Amino acid sequence: MNIAGIVCEYNPFHSGHLHQLAETRRALGEDTLTVCVMSGDFVQRGEAAMFSKFARAEAACRAGASLVLELPLPWCLSSAEGFAMGAVSLLAAVGCTQLSFGSESGDVETLRKLAREILDPDTQREIAALLQRLPELSYAMARERVLTEKLGECGSLLSQPNNILAVEYLKAIYKKTYPITPVTVKRIGSGHDKAGEQGPKSASELRGLMETGADISEYIPEAALSVYRRERAAGRGRDKAVLETALLSRLRMLDRNVYESLPDGGDGAGARLWKAVREESTLEDIAQAARTKRYPLARMRRMLLCAALGVSAEYTKTLPPYARVLAADSAGCAYLREIDGKSAVPVLTKPAAVRRLDGGAAKVFALGASAHDVYTLQNVTNSDRKCGQDWRNGPVIV
Amino acid sequence: MNIAGIVCEYNPFHSGHLHQLAETRRALGEDTLTVCVMSGDFVQRGEAAMFSKFARAEAACRAGASLVLELPLPWCLSSAEGFAMGAVSLLAAVGCTQLSFGSESGDVETLRKLAREILDPDTQREIAALLQRLPELSYAMARERVLTEKLGECGSLLSQPNNILAVEYLKAIYKKTYPITPVTVKRIGSGHDKAGEQGPKSASELRGLMETGADISEYIPEAALSVYRRERAAGRGRDKAVLETALLSRLRMLDRNVYESLPDGGDGAGARLWKAVREESTLEDIAQAARTKRYPLARMRRMLLCAALGVSAEYTKTLPPYARVLAADSAGCAYLREIDGKSAVPVLTKPAAVRRLDGGAAKVFALGASAHDVYTLQNVTNSDRKCGQDWRNGPVIV
């Protein structure tokens, strides 16, 4: 039986994701087990997810995923490289044999070539030299330019967000020589975060539609949608105004040195953020005031979340130290029994197991639990706003 | 000319306060200057004031006070004793010749007798012994019992909140031998925080009425009410739900040792609060869960604010290190010129003057500015939510 790993945010789970699960099973066998590593309550674009990690994991399993593991917070809020490295390492740790990912390219060989070329020390040097020569370039732009020069047109694939992530997954596999075979599914419908006219909508479009209360049943599998509807009806999930207050309240109390020791906080970026927090009134204005060409908006948003949630640069120097199960179906549960005691990092299925983690891992878990305590402040009822839920919640079994 | 000091919160300024100003002038001469030391954005009962310190100070000056100084945050959130000591020390520092205060008793001689008796080391020992014998008693109850035993019926005056504060003011004067003559005005209308049928309403009743949107023009001088109306119309001032989120967000991120180093945080109270924060979902539930007979609700509420606003026990071991002017009328401005360079602590009239404070005083100011940055999160418009306003706002001159 193949164990296909998937890196995801499922914010929300939509028909494109369903397509990916189906294509993965079509390519690798209908009995293929799909193991997803999913961002928690906060996602890589530097904002809160529409619904809590438990609800999103449940929705994914109800819609066809077998097992959803949580990517711990520091890697959720990392660069594409750190995000991919953290997620792929967890998939490897629990024994995935394949990694399935969407890409605009759809051609795994070309993506492999790009990944290997980027890992080449010569390429690294050329990118560094170009960045020094043209300080107004972002790292991504410099990389695309160097790769296009070296490999011709296929370098320009790096202008597309899913290709970029795909290349990062492949880099992670090569760097760590994980015994994982990459499989790519060509994305259909709208590009990542872009509006499109036909086919599946992007997650970004769907978030926009959900906020307006539009009918999105065409784009989201009913099994997932019913979970989102239940959450919304119970007053749970993202509330931008409440979260803004909760985060600003924290950001305003933090000292300058906290900002300077953020991931990417050196080089003046942390100090700029600190200053912007002291002068502006919204998260968006703060991120806008602190951005530069080299430090784009999304990174500033992530850094603000890192500051508010206590994620300092030290965390992502290592790899995720445990795999926490958020949701599973019966096949997922069977697989968990199979790998019991054999995984490369502890697999947490019960809240009580958290207490047995070692110091470093316990600290990472506490960080995620503390982020959940901010996330739940967005809920409406007092019982859903209770502190410490992450220490008490077990996985959702569907 | 007499300089009459008044300790107040003006939350809100009502007809009882107007009565006190008038009675003070009647007793000490119509040219008496009234100098008020007022709590800032957060008040001694452990909650946010209805309106910001600037708005409340302006309302007081428009209604007849000459000068309003800010009691710095640590003393606002202190016990009655610390609150009184901090406030009276500031009044002494700026040269007040009298201290005028309301009391249920109205008899300054009896209050003096109580204050002196409490300061007597024998009395202190008897109170301590009684507390040891009956651990279920609060300090206030033990004190009242000992004083009633020693002085007969007049000891029972200590069951009334304004008498208690009055005695604390007198204790501060005696302890520091300030050259200040106490003058008391007998309170009319409802007791402090109690509902009454006739005469002026208490501040507590008026806060309740204001929240329901009731017509309170009968109880609040028009000059003050127009300031409150302006603030409310602009979307400024207390918003309990928003503040709850802002404070809980902070409280959830703080380590146990922060709670244990709070004022009154030793003796297990800080640890109880920390635990309650981790388990409960509202500020009120947290305070209720952590309270004991000796640590009543109001103290728990103050401790929660201290935790969220960064007030540790070290601060109130000293006295307020500066007098910040929040509002003044022309007589108040003239007096400020008169005492320029002669006051016992620096008087801050311009934001720029803050930069010249020494380290300890600057830290106290920064604490209040940071609390203002939480308070302003309750405002509706982005410009009113801007961070750092306390560093830029000058006094309101009416």
A293 within some domain: yes
List the single residue in A249, A383, A385 with the smallest CB-CB distance to B250.
A249
Asked if residue B39 lies in contact with residue B50, where contact means CB atoms within 8 angstroms, the answer is no
**In the listed set B288, B314, B340, which residue is the last one of a domain according to the structure?**
B314
List the single residue in A242, A277, A370 with the smallest CB-CB distance to B253.
A370
The per-residue pLDDT for B188 is 72
pLDDT band at A138 (very low <50, low <70, confident <90, very high): confident
Contacts of B280 in chain A (CB under 8 A): 386-387
pLDDT in tens, B69-112: 999 999 999 999 999 999 999 999 999 999 999 999 999 999 99
CB contact under 8 A, A281 and B386: yes
Asked if residue B364 lies in contact with residue B315, where contact means CB atoms within 8 angstroms, the answer is yes
The C-alpha torsion from A329 through A330 and A335 to A338, rounded to 10°, is 150
Are residues B150 and B228 located together in one domain of the fold?
no
CB contact under 8 A, A387 and B310: no
CB contact under 8 A, A373 and B252: yes
With H, G, I as helix, E, B as strand and everything else as coil, classify residue A23: helix
CB contact under 8 A, B281 and A250: no
CA distance A282 to chain B (A): 7
A142 within some domain: yes
Angle at which helices B240-253 and B269-279 pack, to 10 degrees? 110
A358 within some domain: no
A146 within some domain: yes
Residue written as token pair 């000292």: A255
- Which tokens is B357 given? 């404070």
Taking the CA atoms of B272, B276, B277 and B282 in sequence, report the sign of the dihedral they define: negative
List the single residue in A278, A279, A374 with the smallest CB-CB distance to B249.
A374
At B230, the amino acid letter reads R
Domain that holds residue B211: 3-104+166-172+178-238+319-397
Q: Classify residue A291 by its DSSP letter.
A: -
DSSP B338-372: HHTTTSSS-EE-SGGGGGGS-HHHHHHHHHHHHHH
pLDDT at position A7 over 70: yes
CA distance B385 to chain A (A): 5
Are residues B183 and B69 located together in one domain of the fold?
yes
Share of residues in chain A with pLDDT > 90 (%): 82
pLDDT band at B192 (very low <50, low <70, confident <90, very high): low
Contacts of B275 in chain A (CB under 8 A): none
The per-residue pLDDT for A267 is 81
Contacts of B387 in chain A (CB under 8 A): 248, 252, 277-281
Are residues B57 and B148 located together in one domain of the fold?
no
CB contact under 8 A, B277 and A387: yes
pLDDT at position A297 over 70: yes
B235: left (phi over 0), alpha (psi -120 to 50) or beta: left
- The overall average pLDDT reported for chain B is 93
Q: Which chain B residue's Cα is nearest to A370?
A: B253
Residue of A239, A242, A253, A363 to mutate, testing the B interface (most B Cβ within 10 Å of its Cβ): A253
Q: Looking at residues A94-121, what average pLDDT do you find?
A: 94
Are residues B46 and B153 located together in one domain of the fold?
no
pLDDT at position A193 over 60: no
Residue of B73, B242, B245, B309 to mutate, testing the A interface (most A Cβ within 10 Å of its Cβ): B245
Best CA proximity match to A146, nearest among A158, A164, A162, A135: A158
CB pairs under 8 A between A and B: 80
Are residues B31 and B53 located together in one domain of the fold?
yes
pLDDT at position A197 over 60: no
pLDDT at position B195 over 80: no
**Residues facing A324 on adjacent strands:** A70, A348
CB contact under 8 A, A385 and B250: no
CA distance A252 to chain B (A): 7
Q: Classify residue B119 by its DSSP letter.
A: H
| φ/ψ of residue B37, rounded to 5 | -105, 115
The total number of structural domains that make up chain B:
3
CB contact under 8 A, A387 and B282: no
Residue A350: which residues within 8 A CB-CB, separation 6 or more?
A394
H helix or E strand, kind and range, residue B326: strand B323-328
pLDDT band at B197 (very low <50, low <70, confident <90, very high): low
List the single residue in B248, B277, B280 with the smallest CB-CB distance to A377.
B248
CB contact under 8 A, A246 and B242: no
Are residues B227 and B366 located together in one domain of the fold?
yes
Are residues B84 and B211 located together in one domain of the fold?
yes
Q: Looking at residues A308-332, what average pLDDT do you find?
A: 94
pLDDT at position B193 over 60: no
List the single residue in B253, B281, B387 with the smallest CB-CB distance to A277.
B387
- How many Å apart are CA B270 and CA A359, to the nearest integer? 25
Asked if residue A328 lies in contact with residue A60, where contact means CB atoms within 8 angstroms, the answer is no
Best CA proximity match to B3, nearest among B70, B103, B94: B94
Asked if residue B174 lies in contact with residue B115, where contact means CB atoms within 8 angstroms, the answer is yes
CB contact under 8 A, B388 and A279: yes
- Which tokens is B21 given? 């100003």
The per-residue pLDDT for B263 is 86
Asked if residue A57 lies in contact with residue A328, where contact means CB atoms within 8 angstroms, the answer is no
A309 within some domain: yes
Q: Looking at residues B186-201, what average pLDDT do you find?
A: 63
Q: Classify residue A365 by its DSSP letter.
A: H
| φ/ψ of residue B158, rounded to 5 | -75, 5
- Which tokens is B40 given? 């800032």
Q: Which chain B residue's Cα is nearest to A249?
A: B246
CB contact under 8 A, A249 and B246: yes
pLDDT at position A195 over 90: no
pLDDT band at B199 (very low <50, low <70, confident <90, very high): low
Contacts of A258 in chain B (CB under 8 A): none
CB contact under 8 A, A374 and B247: no
- Which tokens is B66 given? 């000459």
**Which residues on chain A place their C-beta less than 8 Å from a C-beta of chain B?**
242, 245-250, 252-253, 277-282, 285, 310, 370, 373-374, 377, 382-383, 385-388
The CATH number of residue B14's host domain is: 3.40.50.620
- How many Å apart are CA B168 and CA B171, to the nearest integer? 5
pLDDT in tens, A17-37: 999 999 999 999 999 999 999
The per-residue pLDDT for A55 is 98
The C-alpha torsion from A381 through A383 and A388 to A390, rounded to 10°, is -80
| φ/ψ of residue B160, rounded to 5 | -105, 130
CB contact under 8 A, B387 and A278: yes
Are residues B187 and B263 located together in one domain of the fold?
no
Residue A258: which residues within 8 A CB-CB, separation 6 or more?
A307, A312
Are residues B331 and B357 located together in one domain of the fold?
yes
Maximal C-alpha separation, chain A: 58
A396 within some domain: no
Share of residues in chain B with pLDDT > 70 (%): 97
Q: Looking at residues A47-57, what average pLDDT do you find?
A: 98
- Which tokens is A359 given? 């110091």
Residue written as token pair 């049943």: A217
Taking the CA atoms of B134, B139, B140 and B145 in sequence, report the sign of the dihedral they define: positive
A14 within some domain: no
Are residues B282 and B143 located together in one domain of the fold?
no
The per-residue pLDDT for B198 is 61
| φ/ψ of residue A11, rounded to 5 | -125, 65
**In the listed set B314, B349, B371, which residue is the last one of a domain according to the structure?**
B314
Residue B111: which residues within 8 A CB-CB, separation 6 or more?
B103, B105, B157, B163, B166, B167, B170, B182, B184
Residue of B242, B253, B392 to mutate, testing the A interface (most A Cβ within 10 Å of its Cβ): B253
Lowest mean pLDDT across A379-393, B259-273, B332-346: B259-273
Contacts of A387 in chain B (CB under 8 A): 248, 252, 277-281
Are residues B60 and B23 located together in one domain of the fold?
yes
A140 within some domain: yes
- The overall average pLDDT reported for chain A is 93
CA distance B381 to chain A (A): 9
pLDDT at position A355 over 90: no
**In the listed set A289, A315, A341, which residue is the last one of a domain according to the structure?**
A315
pLDDT in tens, B142-169: 999 999 999 988 888 988 989 999 999 9
pLDDT in tens, B268-297: 899 999 999 999 999 999 999 999 888 889
CA distance B339 to chain A (A): 34
pLDDT at position A210 over 80: yes
Are residues B8 and B60 located together in one domain of the fold?
yes
